A and B are shown apart, each in its own frame.
Chain A
Amino acid sequence: MSEYALEMQGYAFSYGSTGADVLHDITFALENGSFTVLCGASGSGKSTLLRALKPELAVAGTSKGTVRVLGDDPHLLSPVESATRVGFVMQDPENQIVTDTVWHELAFGLESIGMDTQTMRRRVAETAHFFNIGSWFDRRTTDLSGGQKQLLNLAAIVVMQPAVLVLDEPTSQLDPIAAKGFFDVLERVNAELGITVVITEHRLEDVLPIADRVLFLDKDGTLAYDGDADGFVRVLAKGDEGLFAALPAATRMAMLLERADKSPKKHAPYPITVREGRAYLASAFVTKHKRGRRVVEPPPPERTLPPDDVVLRAKDVWFRYTRDMPFVLRGVDFDLHAGRVAALVGGNGSGKSTLLLALAGIRRPERGRIIKARNLHVALMTQNPKALFVRDRLVDDLLEWSDLGGYSLSDVNDMLERFGLEQLRARHPYDLSGGETQKAALAKILLLGPDVLLLDEPTKGLDAPAKAQVGAILSDLAQREGKAVLLTTHDLEFVAEVAHTCSMLFGHEVTCTQDAHGFFLDNLFYSTPTARIARGMLDGCVTTADLAASLDLGGGTCNE
């Protein structure tokens, strides 16, 4: 067996036979049992690179250079060997599931490679045990939660005992808690089974602490970095601002401190977790001040709430899907104001999406009512924005409702320009990336000229730059155009950066509505990582921007 699980030498790839290379001269070798994160901006060719490791999934095109899996060319392996040596987990939890029951899904791969009954039973049993899915072994796959589905997908691959596990953004469709659970299991798979892991992921906060190797793909498809996490962070610190936002909050804070020349030691490793971040911040003050107590207490940044102008109100709304099911909403009171971005947070199944459906008038409350301003036009964007598109070209699609909305081609062009989508006007809507799809869907909705925008998880599956763009658009819509925006999300940092107010759904009702900044300052667990790092040391900081502001403000005090 080769020393290396995966090797690539001078690998290059282009679509078709004449197209320009999307990947250039990729050379790396990953040791057996390593855990590697592959980073890069969207469109840098991460998925293409990963798929090249498994011939069954390889993207059609021309490749140069060599690929080795455990020392062998994957194209020369027998079909069974090829299927079992490299396991591949993809993004969407739903679409990877083939069969209707959990046990059958686990057995599917083994059935395909023609394994005998006795061995199959044993493999399925031990895998179900390892992944702790014994209790839902007999369930139907349709009834599982998103997190369970993705765990099942992972288990259904691990049951085939692969030497290498390749994962392409496996948690992008999961909420943070499910994602954390997934990473915990993945870490066990790596540590306890010794399976080599290669993963692309934009939740660096979760994945960097468990990775021992980082590969970084440049925008033009070259390997810009290959080494440990700390070195990767240093490379990014020098590089462009777009990926800065993707870094863990603790790392961003340390970089800011370093820039403000307040870092404790020049070459100390950057903190990644909240705990490391707190230690780093504490030591930054210890070195400057003997006692290391709280020194900076900047006033919370000025945040003015736009005037109180209610346009849509839910009053004592009770709702359930059928008579024999429990209530999903119990006496919800909720106001939506023009000119404000409001965020709705809460766990899975807390009724966020249902409240949006009720506000949009699609679901009629069983008790209570929705009151809206006269002639108010409410638009709802549901979780899967692909559902909005029917035509083959983006520009045709945006024109689809021109009769209804009374707009013309020039309005469409303006909208495309505003969202930076001019280049993509002739593209098929399904070929857009996650961020582009989200922006295109927003553009299509805005062309109808709604006064109220209800958005169900607009940040789902977006990487940091795309998220920042969507955030800027939403703020702009509320502040400049006076629209009322309500979004649901699991991304608390996004809420802290974009929303004016934040409401929490718990126990099927709105437990509190507060200005977003105050909401996160008061919360201990349900808060942004930055707030958790800075608590007790740099009060009033919820986002990295706050941190930067407070460092400038309190800079004098700190240096005395």
Chain B
Amino acid sequence: MAKGLFATYHPAVCMLFFLAAIGFAFSTQHPAYVVLSCAMSGAFLVYLRGGRTFLRTMGTCVPLVVFVGLLNSLFNAAGATILWQWGPFSVCVEGLCYGMAVGGMLTAVLLWFACYNEVMSEDKFTYLFARRLPTVSLMVTMISRWTPRMVSRGRNIYNSQEALIGGYDQSKRGKLHRGVRMATVLAGIGMEDSIQTADSMSARGYGSATRTSYARFKWHACERVALGALGALVVANATLLATDAEAFTFYPLVSPVEPSWGYATYALMLGMPFWVEIERLRRPWRESSFGKRRRTQLDACEHE
């Protein structure tokens, strides 16, 4: 279970959040939005897994930003401010900036995916589709059971044949032949296995009625509130971000980054994993009307 309360929310809420975060991250190279997305995803990853994982992810991302930035500036000479020229190649400030923005965008997306992996376990994903697409979701589950089993079967077959005939023939041809043989045996044994699995399924009534699905997650009030708020923020961001992104260009000159309400709503939306933690600050006891009614009844008894 991932750290933080956000992971305890209904998979539909988490899924919508990540779809929005990743979708918006992909849709713009506006520097302010890119920086915000990077900062929020980075903060979330640190919150989920600690600084070490974050640094390890960044270790692959920073070279990516630099590489994309350099590559873009080398091959895109549409900028006005030339920094350095060498024969047909010219490096301009605008190209460098655009490249950095694209690299930053990719970084944000990678970081969001790292967070997604922590929060959305496989069973949450399949649960989301279990009701709508019961067969597809069962298939996903079965494949995820089947794959490791086949790998271990394959290892077993490899061991048993290497142990017997590996010593006789170490040539390329021999190895190739053994590879083909292993695939044949694996196919045969896999068929045997799946016949038994099919038996086990039909013995447990597979296909005897319309499938239902085991519900591991429930809808609570706070989930509805979170989903509503998230939906509103997505709509707000879609309009604000579109306006800001349109107003901003890299070429021929990088336009100045104007202040906008969009940054605030964007940060608010991406900060959702953090603001659901407000829950922790609330008092554990809450007085509600049913308590009051009971007390009034008690009072009435005393008066009598």
Contacts and interface: CB of A to CB of B under 8 A. Distances in A.
A96 B213 CA distance: 20
Contact of A120 (B159, B169, B202, B214): B214
B144 interface: yes
A380 B210 CA distance: 49
Interface string A461-479: 0000000000000000000
Interface stretch (A83-91, A265-273, A279-287, A523-531): A83-91
Nearest to B211: A111
B188 A390 contact: yes
A82 to B, nearest CB: 7
B212 A98 contact: no
Interface string A399-411: 0010011000000
Nearest to B184: A390
Given A100-B145, A357-B159, A387-B160, A112 B200 contact: no
Interface string B183-203: 011001100111011011111
Contact of B165 (A80, A100, A108, A448): A448
14 contacts: A79-B207, A90-B200, A95-B200, A98-B145, A98-B200, A100-B122, A104-B123, A120-B214, A160-B204, A357-B163, A380-B163, A388-B164, A389-B185, A454-B163
A182 interface: no
Given A95-B197, A360-B163, 20 more contacts: A56-B203, A78-B208, A82-B208, A83-B203, A83-B204, A90-B199, A99-B141, A100-B122, A110-B212, A112-B201, A112-B205, A117-B212, A141-B145, A153-B200, A160-B204, A160-B205, A385-B160, A387-B160, A430-B192, A454-B163
Closest A-B pairs by Cβ, 9 of them: A83-B205, A79-B208, A380-B163, A114-B209, A107-B214, A109-B204, A95-B196, A96-B200, A382-B160
A160 to B, nearest CB: 7
A119 to B, nearest CB: 10
B181 interface: yes
A555 B159 CA distance: 52
Interface centre among A56, A153, A157 (most CB of B within 10 A): A56
Nearest to A119: B212
Given A107-B214, A110-B214, A79 B205 contact: yes
B198 to A, nearest CB: 9
Interface of A: 54, 56-57, 78-80, 82-84, 87-88, 90, 92, 94-101, 103-104, 107-117, 120-121, 124, 141-142, 153, 156-157, 160, 357, 360-362, 377-390, 401, 404-405, 430, 445, 448, 454
Contact of A430 (B157, B163, B166, B188): B188
Contact of B203 (A54, A117, A405): A54
Interface residues of B, number: 52
Contacts of A379: 163-164
A404 B212 contact: no
Interface string B271-284: 00000000000000
Interface string B154-182: 00110111111111110000000000010
B215 interface: yes
Contacts of B215: 117, 120-121
A361 B156 CA distance: 15
Contacts of B168: 404-405
A373 B52 CA distance: 50
A79 B123 CA distance: 29
B291 interface: no
Contact of B214 (A95, A121, A377): A121
B211 A142 contact: no
B301 interface: no
B212 A97 contact: no
A111 B159 CA distance: 39
B216 to A, nearest CB: 7
B164 A448 contact: yes
Given A99-B141, A377-B167, A142 B148 contact: yes
Given A98-B201, A100-B122, A124-B214, A404 B165 contact: yes
Contacts of A88: 203
B261 interface: no
Interface in B222-259: none
Nearest to B140: A100
A387 B163 contact: no
A404 B169 contact: yes
A96 B205 contact: no
Contacts of B167: 361, 377-378
B90 to A, nearest CB: 49
Nearest to B192: A430
Contacts of A99: 138, 141-142, 145
A116 B196 contact: no
B200 to A, nearest CB: 4
A109 B203 CA distance: 9
B49 interface: no
B161 A388 contact: yes
Interface centre among A57, A88, A98, A377 (most CB of B within 10 A): A98
Nearest to A109: B204
B212 A120 contact: yes
A22 to B, nearest CB: 19
Nearest to A353: B159
Contacts of B3: none
A389 to B, nearest CB: 7
Contacts of B210: 114
B149 interface: yes
A388 B160 contact: yes
A358 to B, nearest CB: 11
B186 to A, nearest CB: 9
A103 to B, nearest CB: 7
A320 B211 CA distance: 44
A95 B156 contact: no
B185 A390 contact: yes
Nearest to B209: A114
A80 B208 CA distance: 6
B206 interface: yes
A92 B196 contact: yes
B156 A112 contact: no
Given A382-B160, A445-B164, A101 B123 contact: yes
Contacts of B196: 90, 92, 95-96
B8 to A, nearest CB: 14
Contacts of B209: 79-80, 112-114
A386 B214 contact: no
A493 to B, nearest CB: 26
Given A98-B145, A101-B123, A401-B165, A113 B205 contact: yes
A88 B206 CA distance: 14
Contacts of B166: 362
Nearest to A383: B156
Interface in B99-144: 122-123, 134, 138, 141-142, 144
Nearest to B202: A56
B160 to A, nearest CB: 4
A354 to B, nearest CB: 11
Nearest to A120: B214
A380 B159 contact: yes
B208 A112 contact: yes
A112 B204 contact: yes
B208 A95 contact: no
B214 A117 contact: yes
Contacts of B189: 384, 386-387
A378 to B, nearest CB: 8
